[in-house]
Amino acid sequence: MTRTKSGDKKQAIFDATLRCVLRTGFGGLKMAVVAKEARVATGTVYLYFRNKEDLINALLLHVKAEIHTAMMQDVETDDPFFTAFKKSMINYIDFCYGSPEKMIFIEQFYRSSYLYPETAAEIEQLALPVLNMLRSARNEMLIKDIDRELMLRQLLGASNEIIKYCIDSGRPITKLLREQILDMLWSSIRR
């Protein structure tokens, strides 16, 4: 069995899609272009995805899952909250800065008519671990008494904008900058 099996091709299409969208936004997602970028025939894309909508939904779910997994990497259940918070936010920032195409793809398609309600529902589940982390912190009176969901959005929204700014302006995320970002995020929610 060669190493070039079906899973690889699906992944190649995913990667190509992300590259296309990073390059020219949602307008860059054209089936023929994606196929060429993935070095497969146009028809091949349709062997792995029913249509464009399906490709988008599958990729959204895939990328969102990746981000959430990365975010909770090395976060132990018995970490003190501040440690866990710091780890997860650094994970998030580093992941997004390192894979801007994934962040951009989500931004472009998460709020679009392409998104199936079922995909949205599945994606919601992915945020549960982080939300739980915030819940215990609030129970311990470590953070402000504000709707956790809203708080999470605030944190990620702030991070996203910062990351995009760094990418667009070619500014690297240094150790110092990361500390500054974390400081802003932490002070926004700490009690």
Contact between 27 and its own copies per CB under 8 A: yes
C-alpha 47: how far from its chain's center?
26
Contact between 140 and its own copies per CB under 8 A: no
Cβ 168 to DNA shortest distance, Å: 24
Contact between 122 and its own copies per CB under 8 A: no
Q: Tell me the number of residues near DNA by CB under 7 A.
A: 22
Contacts 24+ apart (CB under 8 A), 184-188: 184/158, 185/89, 185/155, 185/158, 185/159, 186/82, 186/85, 186/86, 188/154, 188/155, 188/158
Contact between 166 and its own copies per CB under 8 A: yes
x-or-dash string of contact with DNA, 35-64, rule CB under 7 A: ----xxxxxx-xx---xxx-----------
> Which window, 25-33, 61-69, 70-78, 88-96, contacts its own copies (CB under 8 A)?
25-33
Whether the Cβ atoms of residue 122 and residue 115 lie closer than 8 Å to each other = no
User: Which residues bind to DNA, rule: CB under 7 A?
Assistant: 1-2, 4, 6, 9, 27, 29-33, 39-44, 46-47, 51-53
